[in-house]
């Protein structure tokens, strides 16, 4: 029986630049890249060199300490460059794509006729396995584990996020194959979580072998970590697997077509986009091929791979993040402002009643990347609890991380959170505390000391 979870805590940030229903093709994109930095706790080992020819689905690099986990090319072509950073850290493997993509053939197959071992082998060989992540720690799942549950969020509640009903409207067969795959891997029905008002005509409503649950409330209702907390909380020793709905379709295509077909429909959104809409791209596409000619160029712009809360800053020579389903463009916000944050006005947004914005709750705003202040004393203000619909004490947890107190971190719920779950805490924080960076620090410490 379906369960309806009503969340009262959270915050919907209404921004200008919401996408419409139009889906366009990007056109020519010659460069693609896979970035090891997109994967937490990964130490890569290269298996290609500049100048090599690869097909879509052929291996670029592997996990040094789990060599069965492979990372493959999303397109066919020539290895254009291998870019490194400090201490020769591998940053990205860049591919110059062929005019027509050549795919490595893994063979189409009926998931229900394959064994669990055969499914795992195909997912590993094709490079699709990294799309499957585990909680705690939000890292790539270990193929040797069996999770206690598998979760898929059928909606994204982040600001300007894409509507999966549009991006996945024609992927029912692939989604069902992905669901059947996950069921075989976990020996359980998949937990599919939808918005409370999801219509019966939804592509997700037609899926079988799923346990459907509904969530009602503001962001972060669409975060899978929040959903797990309310349906099947993670305790010490528990393992839960999660996958993004768009990645689930890519997983399903591996079995329906026998190819690593990394196509996805992403949103190009934000107040600095001329006509925000959806674009069909391939994972790892160069940002410039998507945004060039589509921006207003009226002010200095910040291009973000991902959403405004959890994405990261990129430029036109960068590449779309492996797990990202949108690109957001907002003003940078370097302009001088008289009296700074203390200037009252109708154009400013606040979750409190500091600004008049609370009188117009449905108004959309053009927000920039300015901090409007500097880091201050980290005090208990009660702000975090208003936007975090979890039964944890976020301030005390963050202070336990800063103190390196592993016992306190365990007791206060460290196993249940990922940086994205506390992104709103960072947004509303008057102390300007880098909350997500602190959570990353805590995850690294837990993995180092307890794994």
CB 4 within 8 A of CB 214: yes
| 396 pLDDT tier (thresholds 50, 70, 90) | very high
Q: In what order do the strands lie in the sheet with 59-63?
A: 44-46, 59-63, 66-72
The predicted pLDDT at position 372 comes to 80
Largest Cα separation within the chain, whole Å, is: 67
The predicted pLDDT at position 353 comes to 74
Rg, the chain, Cα only: 22
Q: Report the pLDDT averaged over residues 329-338.
A: 85
- 436-444 CB contacts, 8 Å cutoff, 24+ apart: 436/310, 438/398, 438/401, 438/402, 439/398, 439/401, 440/40, 441/401, 441/402, 442/397, 442/398, 442/400, 442/401, 442/409, 442/414, 443/40, 443/136, 443/137, 443/138, 443/414, 443/418, 443/419, 444/41
Q: Report the pLDDT averaged over residues 27-47.
A: 95
Kindly report which listed range (20-24, 84-88, 358-362, 446-450) carries the lowest average pLDDT score: 358-362
The predicted pLDDT at position 1 comes to 58
The enclosing H or E element of 60 equals: strand 59-63
CB 371 within 8 A of CB 433: no
**Side-chain-facing half-sphere of 47: CA atoms under 13 Å:** 15
**Side-chain-facing half-sphere of 251: CA atoms under 13 Å:** 29
CA distance 258 to 108: 4
The predicted pLDDT at position 361 comes to 80
| 384 pLDDT tier (thresholds 50, 70, 90) | very high
Among 257, 217, 213, which residue's Cα sits nearest to residue 231? 213
CB 45 within 8 A of CB 61: yes
pLDDT at 13 over 80: yes
The two three-digit tokens of residue 205, written as one number? 């409503």
CB 426 within 8 A of CB 435: yes
SS3 83: strand
pLDDT at 345 over 90: no
pTM for this entry: 0.95
Mean pLDDT score of the chain, rounded to an integer?
94
pLDDT at 120 over 70: yes
The predicted pLDDT at position 334 comes to 86
Q: Write the DSSP assignment of 141-196 as a string of letters.
A: PPTT---SEEEEES---STT---HHHHTTT-HHHHHHHHHHHHHHHTS-EEEEEET
pLDDT in tens, 254-282: 999 999 999 999 999 999 999 999 999 99
Handedness of CA 399, 400, 401, 405 (dihedral sign): positive
pLDDT at 53 over 90: yes
Query: Is the pLDDT higher at 297 or at 342?
Result: 297
Q: Report the pLDDT averaged over residues 191-208.
A: 94
Handedness of CA 358, 363, 366, 367 (dihedral sign): positive
Q: What one-character DSSP code corresponds to residue 128?
A: -
CB 291 within 8 A of CB 304: no
The predicted pLDDT at position 340 comes to 64
CA distance 127 to 60: 9
The predicted pLDDT at position 206 comes to 95
| 364 pLDDT tier (thresholds 50, 70, 90) | very high
The predicted pLDDT at position 432 comes to 92
pLDDT at 233 over 90: yes
Q: Report the pLDDT averaged over residues 288-310.
A: 96
Q: Report the pLDDT averaged over residues 342-352.
A: 73
Q: What percent of the chain has pLDDT over 90?
A: 87
pLDDT at 344 over 70: no
pLDDT at 248 over 80: yes
Kindly report which listed range (4-13, 19-28, 307-316, 402-411) carries the lowest average pLDDT score: 19-28
CA distance 1 to 97: 47
CA distance 9 to 303: 29
């Amino acid at each position: 029986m379906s369960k309806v979870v009503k969340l009262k805590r959270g915050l919907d940030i209404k921004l200008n630049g919401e996408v419409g229903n139009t889906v366009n093709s990007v056109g020519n994109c010659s460069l693609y890249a896979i970035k090891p930095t997109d994967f937490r706790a990964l130490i890569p080992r290269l298996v290609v060199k500049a100048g090599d020819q690869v097909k879509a689905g052929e291996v670029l690099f592997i996990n040094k300490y789990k060599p069965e986990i492979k990372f493959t090319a999303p397109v066919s072509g020539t290895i254009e460059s291998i870019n490194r950073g400090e201490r020769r850290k591998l940053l990205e493997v860049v591919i110059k794509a062929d005019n027509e993509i050549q795919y490595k053939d893994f063979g189409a197959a009926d998931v229900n006729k394959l064994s669990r071992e055969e499914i795992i082998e195909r997912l590993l060989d094709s490079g699709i396995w990294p799309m499957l992540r585990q909680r705690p720690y939000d890292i790539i799942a270990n193929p040797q584990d069996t999770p206690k549950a598998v979760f898929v969020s059928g909606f994204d509640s982040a600001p300007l996020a894409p509507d999966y009903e549009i991006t996945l409207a024609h992927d029912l067969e692939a989604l069902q194959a992905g669901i059947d795959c996950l069921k075989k891997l976990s020996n359980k029905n998949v937990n599919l979580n939808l918005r409370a008002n999801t219509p019966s005509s939804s592509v997700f409503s037609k899926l079988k072998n799923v346990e459907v649950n509904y969530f009602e409330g503001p962001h972060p209702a669409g975060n899978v970590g929040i959903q797990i907390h309310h349906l099947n909380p993670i305790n010490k020793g528990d393992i839960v697997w999660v996958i993004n709905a768009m990645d689930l379709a890519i997983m399903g295509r591996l079995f329906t077509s026998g190819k690593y077909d990394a196509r996805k429909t992403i949103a190009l959104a934000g107040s600095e986009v001329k006509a925000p809409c959806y674009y069909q791209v391939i994972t790892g596409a160069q940002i410039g091929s998507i945004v060039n000619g589509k921006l207003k160029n009226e002010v200095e712009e910040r291009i973000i791979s991902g959403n405004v809360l959890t994405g990261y800053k990129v430029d036109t020579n960068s590449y779309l993040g492996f797990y990202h389903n949108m690109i957001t463009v907002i003003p940078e916000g370097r302009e001088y402002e008289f009296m700074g944050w203390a200037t009252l006005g109708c154009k400013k947004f606040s979750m409190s009643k500091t600004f008049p914005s609370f009188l117009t709750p449905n108004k959309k705003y053009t927000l920039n990347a300015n901090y409007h202040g500097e880091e201050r004393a980290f005090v208990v203000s009660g702000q975090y609890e208003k936007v975090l619909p979890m039964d944890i004490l976020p301030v005390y947890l963050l202070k336990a991380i800063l103190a390196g107190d592993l016992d306190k971190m365990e007791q206060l719920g460290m196993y249940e959170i990922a940086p994205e779950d506390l992104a709103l805490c960072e947004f509303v924080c008057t102390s300007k505390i880098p909350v997500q960076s602190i959570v990353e620090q805590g995850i690294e410490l837990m993995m180092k000391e307890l794994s």
